[in-house]
Structure 1
Amino acid sequence: MLGVIVTIACLVAALWGVNLQQIQESFRQANYWTLPVMLGLLFLFFWLKAYRWRMLLEPVRKLKISEVAPAMMIGFMGNNILPAHLGEFLRVYVLGRQFQIPKTTVLSTVVLERLFDIVAILCYLWCGIYFAPGLSKDYQTASLFLAGIMPVIILVLAAYLIWTEAVIRLFQKLFSLIPFLPEKLTHLVLEMMRAGAEGMASMKSGRLAFGIIWTSFAQWFVNGLSILVALWSFQIEITPLAAFVVLGVTAFGVTVPATPGFFGVVQFCFKISLQPFGVPEAKAFAASIYYHLVQYIPVTLVGLYYSNRTGLKLSDAEREAEKELEDLEGQDGEH
């Protein structure tokens, strides 16, 4: 229910005060010849993700990109159609079952992915806010605050890796103070945190650590380019640094509890992040729909294709993901 409320509220906020005829005109005047470029960037983005995941898994088992990609795409498809980001557990289930890798080990690599994503996205967001021309000094002040909290985040991550259980208990208490937070989402976050500390083996290798770091920054740079191309498709001529601002706001925006697919949330994030650059709201909304659908439709279709190949029925996807979460919680209780 909370996800539905958040989605509706974001969609209303994104459309508030926007002329619907101007949105229609923006779609009519858009340049859709950029679609092949968008799809190419999307392919590169997920290729880099699969390459990084292969490196994270290498200390446990050496796999090819073609072997990890199906489970990864099934997981992202799950995030598009299942509630509470259950796609993360769906990819754990698929890869663990296919290659007989312990589920907690697979989950730990997924958590490390998210940690490196956070660092990379924060860096791009800071660069966008601080260096983008035309922004007021208030935004530069905000960027300095962002730069200041990054070391704090790194220290929190270090504490999490050293004193895992204590940090998890702290977050559990914090979550209990938020009555409207879905219990399923709380369990998901806590279990991912618990598993993440177990996946640091890949970071003991200098080669793997370097590869994981550069691919983390490279993939989000590619995603920022995709946003920039979507904006240019709707005649929104802005600096590439503005795309990094949209990237950062949107990437963190989709972490809030919402309906699967993040519709409404993405549109609201585009609106608020492009306002300081003087972008017309109708064009920002139209560009967000274009970007969102180019991301959503291919990922969902590819994930459905791989789920069919692996014998995972769509009707069973949510049940398997929830069962995986329950199994992981049961394993933790045994410890």
Structure 2
Amino acid sequence: MKQLLTVAKYALLLALSGVLMWYALRGQDLSLIGRYMREANYSWLVLTMVLSALGYFSRAHRWQMQLEASRLRPGYWDVYHAMMVGYLANLVLPRMGEVIRCSVLRRTAGVPVQVALGAVITERVIDLLVLAGLLGATLLLDFHKFWAFVVSLFSDRYNSLAAHQGLLLTAAGLLLLLAALFGYLLYRNLERLRQRAFFNRLETFVRGLLEGVFSIRKLRRPGLFLLHTAFTWLVYYLMDYLAFFAFPETQGLGVGAALAVLTFGAFGMAAPVQGGIGAFHLMVQSTLLVYGIGKEAGIAYALVVHGSQTLLVVLMGGISFVASMMKSGRVARSRGERVEVRHETTS
């Protein structure tokens, strides 16, 4: 039953991607979109793929620094391969890639899953703060234009929420009441719960998770960590900007437009769908409309950019998957040999 629910959940998310993609393509000239894609200068896309690969190497080093702050010493390539396997998994299982890459790193480098996952959570929080800053910068650069754009994106949802304000407040109050009741019961029965093995394992997991989350406070070189963060987002920006030159329709767009595409495209990639499919395309197309780029040209740009990056993740993630499986096999054999040696010694 659990497996059936999991399959149904991911099937529903895939269907949502399809609906978003259909909405982005609805009423457009598909032959014109195809012509834009055929006439694109793909040498610029190759350059963006090279930059993207450098960004992945930088992100892996940043994650390694967080793990080292938790007194762990995984090898760089173990960290990198685990991260890329996670990105590959996200193309099929939205948001599960973070858990999968931590599991891979446990098998290849012995890093506890909870500590690695805590570091990933901190990484995501930092990226969210950067994204919030980029959104603010985008709005400030062209406030009137993009304020209208943001309002148009969220006005319908806001009106729908406002119409059910009383119901939402009641639900929020009930949730707070239940949370308070749960906290009280947990506090009253803490000693009794600690006598149970499951609760002890859960407590150990949470402690390790928090250790990974707060590992950022113990970084040996915080300046280098910030440099890697800045470099990663600079790479994202340059990818969007350089891709403009692949299409005659977008060649005249400037740095402000690239910042807007980066910001709203990132929101699309953050959507809980496979690889941002549909959500990314719709957000980028809508952003380019603000700059006078037609829907067909905008969706062609989004398709080519997203497609090239997806291809890169498949290639790099596939190599990392093979490397990780080989490494985990060697580690398992090594552990088995050590167990046999200890058994023979004791006997």
1:109 matched residue in structure 2: 119
Q: Which residue of 2 aligns with 1:100?
A: 110
Q: Does the 8 Å contact 1:116/1:213 carry over to 2?
A: no
User: Following the alignment from structure 1 to structure 2, what is the Cα–Cα distance between the partners of residues 100 and 9?
Assistant: 41
Matched, 1:294 2:304: no
Partner of 2:85: 74
Q: 1:120 aligns with which of 127, 130, 133?
A: 130
Separation (CA, whole Å) in 1 of partners of 2:229 and 2:259: 15
What is the Cα-based RMSD across aligned positions, in Å?
A: 2.8
Quote the Cα distance in structure 1 between the aligned partners of 2:286 and 2:44.
Answer: 24
Deviations, residues 229-249 of structure 1 (Å, cap 9, x unaligned): 222211202122222222222
1:209 aligns with 2:222: yes
Q: Measure how far apart 1:299 and its partner are.
A: 1.0
1:246 aligns with 2:256: no
Work out which of the residue numbers 14, 24, 34 in structure 2 matches 1:4.
Answer: 14
Amino acid at match of 1:304: G
Deviation at 1:303, TM superposition (A): 1.3
Shift of 1:78: 0.7
**Pick aligned residue for 2:292 from 246, 263, 278:** 278
Measure how far apart 1:204 and its partner are.
Answer: 2.4
Superposition pairs of residues 48-59 of structure 1, within 5 angstroms: 48-59=58-69
- Contact 2:28/2:296, CA 8 A, preserved across alignment: yes
Residues 270, 285 of structure 1: 8 Å contact kept: yes
Q: Which moved more, 1:64-73 or 1:97-106?
A: 64-73
2-structure distance, mates of 1:193, 1:220: 30
2:99 counterpart (89, 92, 117)? 89
CA distance in 2 between partners of 1:141 and 1:284 (Å): 20
1:62 aligns to what? Answer: 73
Q: Residue 70 and residue 140 in structure 1: after superposition, are their counterparts in 2 closer, same or farther (change >3 A)?
A: closer
**What is the CA-CA distance between 1:206 and the residue it aligns to?**
6.1
Residue in structure 1 matching 2:32, options 22, 40, 47: 22
Residue 281 of structure 2 corresponds to 267
Deviations 1:127-163 (A, max 9, x none): 1232149936646999xxxxxxxxxxxxxxxxxxxxx
Q: Deviations over 1:55-114 (max 9, x none)?
A: 111122234433311111111011112x23211111001111212121100110111110
For 2:289, give the aligned amino acid. Answer: Q
Structure 1 gaps, min length 5: 143-165, 173-191, 313-335
Partner of 2:41: 31
Q: CA deviation at 1:286?
A: 0.9
1:228 alignment partner AA:
Y
Q: Is the contact between residue 119 and residue 212 of structure 2 (CA under 8 Å) also seen in structure 1?
A: yes
Aligned 1:293-332 pairs, distance under 5 A? 293-311=307-325
- Local SS of the residue matching 1:18: coil
Query: Quick one: structure 1 residues 196 and 17, their matched pair in 2 at CA, closer, same or farther if it must change by over 3 Å?
Result: farther
> Gaps spanning 5+ residues in structure 2: where?
1-10, 153-175, 183-204, 327-347
Contact preservation (8 Å) 2:149, 2:290:
no
Q: Deviation at 1:207?
A: 4.7
- The more displaced of 22-31 and 125-134 is 125-134
- Report the TM-score when normalising by structure 1: 0.71
Task: State the number of aligned residues.
Answer: 265
2:235 paired with 1:222: yes
2:244 to 231, 242, 250: 231
Task: Determine helix, strand or coil for the equivalent of 2:28.
Answer: coil
Amino acid of the structure 2 residue aligned with 1:296:
T
**What amino acid is the match of 1:6?**
L
Equivalent residue, structure 1, for 2:270: 255
Task: Tell me the amino acid that sits aligned with residue 59 of structure 2.
Answer: K
Displacement of 1:200 in angstroms is: 4.1
Q: 1:53 to 1:294 in 2, by over 3 A?
A: same
Task: Give the structure with higher Rg (CA).
Answer: 2
Alignment-derived partner of residue 148 in structure 1: none
In structure 2, relative to structure 1, the CA distance for the partners of 1:199 and 1:282 (3 Å cut) is same
Compute the TM-score of the two structures, normalised by the length of structure 2: 0.69
Tell me the distance in 2 between the aligned counterparts of 1:98 and 1:300.
21
Structure 1 residues 9 and 139: alpha-carbon distance in aligned structure 2, compared to 1, 3 A threshold:
closer
Query: Is the 8 Å Cα contact of residues 81 and 323 (structure 2) preserved in structure 1?
Result: no
Q: Tell me: CA distance 1:281–1:196, structure 2 relative to 1, closer, same or farther (3 Å).
A: farther
CA-CA distance at 1:196 after TM superposition: 5.5
